[in-house]
Amino acid sequence: MNNPPSLPSHLLQSAAVRDRFTRLKQREVILEVKHLGKQFTSAQGTVTALKDINFKTHRREFVCVIGPSGCGKSTLIRILAGLESYTSGEALLDGEPIVGACAQRGMVFQGYTLFPWLTVKKNVMFGLEMNDHSKTTAEREALQWLELVGLSKFADAYPHQLSGGMKQRVAIARALANQPRILLMDEPFGALDAQTRAKMQSHLLEIWKNIDITILFITHDLDEAIFLADRILVLKAHPGEVQELIEVPVPRPRNFMQITSPEFLATKARLEALIHPPKVEDDDEAQIRPHMIRMARVGDDVEDVE
Amino acid sequence: MNSTVIPIAPKAVVAKPGWTDSWFAVRKELTPRSRVALIVGSFLLPILIWCAFSYLPFVWHPMMRISDPGSVSYFAPDMLVDKDVFRDETKTAKQNGTALPQGSGANPIYLPAPHQVAKALYTAFTTAPERKDGQWLHESLWHSVQIIFWGFLASSVIGVPLGILCGTYNVLSRLTEPFIEFFRYLPAPAFGALAVAILGIYDGPKIAIIFIGTFFQQVLIVANTTRKLDIALLEAALTLGAKKIQLLFRVVIPGILPDLYRDQRILLGWAWTYLIVAELIGTSSGITWFITQQARYKNFENVYAAIIIIGIIGLVTDLLLAALGKWLFRWERSPNKA
Amino acid sequence: MKQSISSICKHWLHRLALPLALSAALPAAAAPLKVGYSDWPGWVAWQVAIEKGWFKEAGVDVQFEWFDYVASMDAYAAGKLDAVTVTNGDALVTGANGAKSVMILINDYSNGNDMIVGKPGIKSLKDLKGKKVGVEMGFVDHLLLLNGLEKAGMKESDVTLVNSPTNETPQVLASGGVDAIGAWQPNSGMALKLVPGSKPIYTSADEPGLIYDVLAVNPSSIAAHKAEWQKVVKVWYRVVDYIYDPKTHDDAVKIMASRVGVPAAEYGALMGGTKILKIDEAKTAYQKGTSFKSIYGSSKLVDDFNVKYEVYKTPQAIDSYIDPSFTSGL
Ligand SMILES: Nc1ncnc2c1ncn2[C@@H]1O[C@H](COP(=O)(O)OP(=O)(O)OP(=O)(O)O)[C@@H](O)[C@H]1O
Ligand SMILES: [Mg+2]
C-alpha cells in the first residue's frame, strides 16, 4: 500500500505550516525523553516494553502517540505520569527528572476514573484541594472549568448520571483545573461512539487553543491523530521503539472538511504504511491466529455472503 | 395490601411472553406486584408448611396424646407416646379384654403448633416478672441487644480501621493477616473461661465473645473490600496531586464506604449468632437465659417465640440499615444501570 | 440486673482498666459477698431470702448471681465469686484444680432427683447387664450408677457406658441408642416424660446422702468475713423454716418457681426429689462418719471415685473442705 502517485508526499509542507513548525521548535522544551527504556519482569520472563525512546515536546504543542496494540503506548504515558517506573534512560519535565505522580502532569484515562461519590463540581475541585487551595477558590475555579467544558448545568450531578462524553469532559476539566504543565491523555475517547468522539475532538482543540497547555495524546485512530496533532510519534512493537516522528502538514485551524484534503490523505497513507506494513505483522493481536472452520450449513439459503 | 394501589404490569402487545418468560427472566427485575407477592410468599410458605405439620394429622403426628389411659398402667392423661407403643398397648388391652386407652395424634414436644407459639409470644410480652429482681422479656431482649451493640462497636472501632489499613498497605497486611487467618478459626466460645477470669462475670466476657467472634472476620473482610477499590481511582488521585494521607482519607475511605457498609451489615448478622454462646458465659442473662431455661423445661413454644423475636429484630434492623444505606450512598449507580 | 448502656460501658471500661493484680486481691470490705447459684431446688431456695430481703434484715451484704451450673464453677475458679453452690463432689473437683473452697452449709441431699432411668422393659439395674447406659462420665450420676450396680452385685464392666452431656440425656434415651440414662432433675424428669413407659430404676432416694448440695466458700473470704458468713447461714435456716411451714410452703414454691421460669405446680413436683435438711439433720450430716449419712463419708467416697476415674490425680484432704462450725454454732 504505497502512496498513490496522485498524492503529494506527507513531507511536503505549505509555507504557513513550515513557518509554524519553525516557531514551534523555537519554543521552550516542556518534556524531554532520552533513551528511555522499560522492562517488565514477571514469572513468564522479561518483556521489553520500551527501548531507547527519544523525543521532545515543546510548549503548547499537541503530540499524538500512535502504534500497534502492545507497543508500549500506555507504558510510556504512565511513566510520564509518574505511575510507572522506568528501567533506563531519562524523562525530564522542564529539565527536572520525573519521579512519582504530581499535579504538574495531569492525566486523563480511557476509563474516566471520576470519583463516583463526589458531584461533578467536587470532582473538579479535588485536585485544587489536594494542592492546598482554599475551598472557596477551588469552588470558584471548578465552576469556571465546568463552564469551559460546557457542564455548568451538571455541577451538582453525580458521575453515574452522566453520559460517557460528559464524564470525559469532567475528567478533562478536573485534570486542567490543576493547571498542569502537560496533559497526558491515554486513548481518552476510545470508548465513545463516533459522533461523540468527533465532538470531543473539536472541543479538545478548542480548549487547547484557549489555554496554555501541552498535550500528549495516545490513540490508535489515525484520523484522530492527524486531526489533533502537530506531530505524531509512531511507535513499533516488540520492543517498543520510535519508528518515526511525523510533522502533520495539515494547516490549522483544523476542521472536518480537511479529512479529504491531499495533506491529510498523504499523512494517513504514510501512517497506514508504518502501522500496517504489507507483510510483517507485528502487533500482539497478530500472534493470536484464529483457525477458521466453516460453521455455516452447506446449501444454506444465504450461503454466499461475500 | 390494597390491590388497586399496585401498578399493573404493562401488557406486551406483540408477543405475549409465557409465564416462564416473565417470572424466570435471567436477572431481570420483576413487576412490583409479583415482587410483593413473592415477599409475602417467602414468609407464608414456611408458615403454611408449619401449619400443615401441626394441624393436618395425616402429615406427620408420630405421637399420640393420651386422653384416657384405659387399663395401661403407665399411661397418664396428656402424656405423649409413640404411635407404635400406643398401638401395641391397645392390642394387648384388646386381647386381655381390659379398657382400651384413648388418644389423638400429636406432634413431638419439640414442635409446638403456630397458635401455641403465637400465644407464648403474646404472654411473654404481657406477663410481668414475678420476682423483684426479675425482668420483662423486652428488658432481657434489650440487654442482649446492648451486648451485641457494645461487642460489635468495640470490634468495629479497631477492626474497620485495621482492615482498611491492611487493604491499603501491604506491609500491614503481611504483618497481621496470617495470624488473623489463624485466629479466626479458633472457636470464640473457647475463650469463655479466660474472658471471665479477666473481665468478670457480668457483661464484660459476653461482649468479649461477640468481639472475638466478629473482629477477626471483620479485619479480613474489610481488607478485602478495600483491595477491591478500583486502582485507577487511586492513580487518578495521584496525578491530581494527592499525597499518602489524602489518598487514604479522600479516596480509599470514601470509595469503599458503600461496600464497607454492606460488610458491616453482614457482620452484624454474624455477631447475633455469637449471642447465644456469649450469654452462657458468666451470669445468666438476656434472651439466652430465657431460651436455655425454657428448653431445659421443654417449654418449646416459649423457645420458638424467643427465636422468632430474634429473627424479627434481625430482619427489621437489617431493613432499616439497608434503607439508611440507600439514602447515604445516593451517588452509587443502581445495579441495573449499565 | 438492669443496666443502662452507659453504665454497661462504664462498667466494661472499668473492668478493662482495672489491673489484674487489683481484681485478684481480697474483696474490699465495702464490696458485697458474691455468691453464684444455679438451677437446683436446694439452691433456688435462696431466692426466698433474696425476695424477702432477709439478708438485709440480718445486716449482711450478699449479692446472689444467677448462673448456669458449669459457668458458676468457672466463675468461682476464676476468682470472681466469694462462694458458689455446688455438690460436695464438684467442690472437690474445683478444689483439686486450684480453686479451694470450704463447705460451710449443707442445703440438701438429692433424694430421688438424681435417677437412673430405664427405657420400657428395663425394670431394674439387673436388666442392664450387657446393655448401654448414657451418663456424663465423672459426674454425680455416674457415681450413682456405680453405687447402684455395686448394690445389685454387679460391676461397671457389666454395662457399656455412653458419655452423654446430662442436659441431652432425655434425647439420648428417646433416640433408642441406649437402654438407660443417668441424670438429675429436670433432665431426669424430662426423660421420663419424653419416653413413655420409661421408669426410674435406681435413684438417689435409694442412697440418701450420696450427693450433698452445699455452699462452698473461698477460705480467704471466710477468714476475712467470718461473722457475715455466719449470718448468711443463719438466714438459710430461716428459709428452711419457711419452706417446711405448711402455711408458707406454697409461697416458697411460688418464689422458687419464678426464679427458674416454670409454673409453680410443675416446680413443686420436682422439689420432692430434694431433701432440704433442717438444722438438726444438717448437724447430723456434719458428724464424721464413713457412710453416706455423713458428708465426710460421702465426700471420701466421691474422692475415691474421682481419683479412680481420673477426674483428678491426687486424693483431696477431705477434712480441710468441710467446716461444720457455722452450722453447729447455731
Ligand atoms: N505490568 C506489566 N507486567 C508485564 N508486562 C506488561 C505489564 N504492563 C504491560 N506489559 C507489557 O508491555 C507491553 C506494552 O504494554 P502497553 O499496555 O503499554 O501497550 P499499549 O501500546 O498501550 O497497547 P494497547 O494499544 O493495546 O493499549 C505489552 O507487551 C504488555 O504485555
Ligand atoms: Mg494502552
Indicate if B67 and B178 belong to the same structural domain. Answer: no
Gap from CA of A233 to ligand 2 centroid (Å): 15
Inter-chain touch C51–B285, beta carbons under 8 Å: no
Could you tell me the domains of chain A?
A: 15-104+180-287 (3.40.50.300)
Distances (CA, A) of B85 to B63, B64, B66, B82, C121: 9, 9, 12, 5, 12
**pLDDT for residue C13:** 42
A88, A162 in Cβ contact below 8 A? no
In a domain, B256, yes or no: yes
Inter-chain touch B143–C11, beta carbons under 8 Å: no
Chain B residue at shortest CA distance from C189: B297
**pLDDT for residue C3:** 42
**pLDDT for residue C21:** 35
**pLDDT for residue C12:** 44
What are the tens digits of pLDDT across the range A53-71? 999 999 999 999 999 888 8
**pLDDT for residue B175:** 94
Indicate if B131 and B237 belong to the same structural domain. Answer: yes
In a domain, B55, yes or no: no
Candidate ranges A108-112, A292-296, C24-28, C105-109; pick with highest mean pLDDT? C105-109
∠ CA C246-C111-C206 to the nearest 5 degrees?
135
Burial of B78 (0-12, 13-18, 19+ CB in 10 A): exposed
Residue A159 with chain B: CB contacts under 8 Å: 331
> How near does any CA of chain A get to the CA of B234, in Å?
9
**pLDDT for residue B13:** 52
Indicate if B96 and B231 belong to the same structural domain. Answer: no
A40 touches ligand 1 (CB under 6 Å): yes
For C114-206, the fitting CATH number among 2.60.120.260, 2.40.50.140, 3.40.50.410, 3.40.190.10 is 3.40.190.10
Inter-chain touch C187–B296, beta carbons under 8 Å: yes
**Which of A79, A83, A93, A92 is closest to A51 using CA atoms?**
A79
The three-class DSSP label of residue C107 is strand
d(CA B95, CA A276) in angstroms, rounded, equals 104
In a domain, B291, yes or no: yes
**pLDDT for residue B333:** 67
Inter-chain touch A160–B239, beta carbons under 8 Å: no
Indicate if B217 and B298 belong to the same structural domain. Answer: yes
Indicate if B70 and B146 belong to the same structural domain. Answer: no
Indicate if B254 and B165 belong to the same structural domain. Answer: yes
In a domain, B16, yes or no: no
Neighbours of chain B (3+ CB pairs under 8 A): A, C
**pLDDT for residue B187:** 87
Residue B289 with chain C: CB contacts under 8 Å: 66
Look-up of cell digits 450531578:
A157
Gap from CA of A72 to ligand 1 centroid (Å): 5
pTM of the model: 0.81
d(CA B225, CA B164) in angstroms, rounded, equals 8
Report, as ranges of residue numbers, the positions in chain C whose pLDDT lies below 70: 1-30
**In 10 A of CB A177, how many CB atoms?**
26
d(CA C92, CA C312) in angstroms, rounded, equals 9
Neighbours of chain A (3+ CB pairs under 8 A): B
Do A and B make contact via 3 or more CB pairs under 8 A? The reply is yes
Domain count, chain B: 2
Inter-chain touch C1–B74, beta carbons under 8 Å: no
**pLDDT for residue A303:** 54
| Cell reading at C59 | 445486716
Full 3-state SS string of chain B: CCCCCCCCCCCCCCCCCCHHHHHCCCCCCCCHHHHHHHHHHHHHHHHHHHHHHHHCCCCCCCEEEEEECCCCCCCCCCCEEEHHHHHHHHHHHHHHCCCCCEEEEECCCCCCCHHHHHHHHHHHHHCCCCCCCCCCHHHHHHHHHHHHHHHHHHHHHHHHHHHHHHHHCHHHHHHHHHHHHHHCCCCHHHHHHHHHHHHCCCHHHHHHHHHHHHHHHHHHHHHHHHHCCCHHHHHHHHHCCCCHHHHHHHHHHHHHHHHHHHHHHHHHHHHHHCHHHHCCCCECCHHHHHHHHHHHCCCHHHHHHHHHHHHHHHHHHHHHHHHHHHHHCCCCCCCCCC
Q: Ligand 1 pocket test: which of A41, A53, A64, A75 has the largest number of ligand atoms within 8 Å of its C-beta? A: A75
| Domain spans, chain C | 20-110+211-328, 114-206
Is the pLDDT reported for residue A158 higher than 90?
yes
Ligand nearest to the CA of A65: 1
In a domain, B6, yes or no: no
Distances (CA, A) of A258 to A224, A225, C204, C321: 12, 13, 109, 108
Which of B74, B106, B138 is the last residue before a domain boundary?
A: B106
Ligand nearest to the CA of A38: 1
Interface mutation target, options B230, B240, B256, chain A, most CBs of A under 10 Å? B240
B106, B63 in Cβ contact below 8 A? yes
Inter-chain touch C80–B197, beta carbons under 8 Å: yes
A68 touches ligand 1 (CB under 6 Å): no
**CATH 3.40.190.10 applies to domain C20-110+211-328:** yes
Indicate if B71 and B190 belong to the same structural domain. Answer: no
Give the domain extent around B232: 118-328
> Does A239 sit behind a cis peptide bond, omega within 30 degrees of 0 on the bond before it?
yes
Distances (CA, A) of B254 to A118, A262, B265: 9, 52, 17
Which of B85, B106, B127 is the last residue before a domain boundary?
A: B106
Per-residue pLDDT of chain B (338 residues; tens, 9 = 90+): 444 444 555 554 555 667 777 778 887 778 888 888 998 999 999 999 999 999 988 888 888 888 888 887 777 777 777 788 888 888 888 998 888 888 888 888 788 899 999 998 888 888 877 776 677 888 889 999 999 999 999 999 999 999 999 999 999 999 999 999 999 998 888 888 888 888 988 899 999 999 999 999 999 999 999 999 999 999 999 999 998 899 999 999 999 999 999 999 999 999 998 998 898 888 888 888 888 878 777 788 888 998 999 999 999 999 999 999 999 998 886 544 43
Chain B residue at shortest CA distance from C168: B296
| CATH code of B242's domain | 1.10.3720.10
In a domain, B49, yes or no: no
In a domain, B233, yes or no: yes
What are the tens digits of pLDDT across the range A197-255? 999 999 999 999 999 999 999 998 999 999 999 999 999 888 888 889 999 999 988 99
The three-class DSSP label of residue C264 is helix
A71 touches ligand 1 (CB under 6 Å): yes
> How near does any CA of chain A get to the CA of B235, in Å?
7
For chain A, the maximum distance between any two Cα atoms, rounded to a whole number of angstroms, is 74
- ipTM exceeding cut-off 0.90 for this assembly: no
Indicate if B73 and B123 belong to the same structural domain. Answer: no
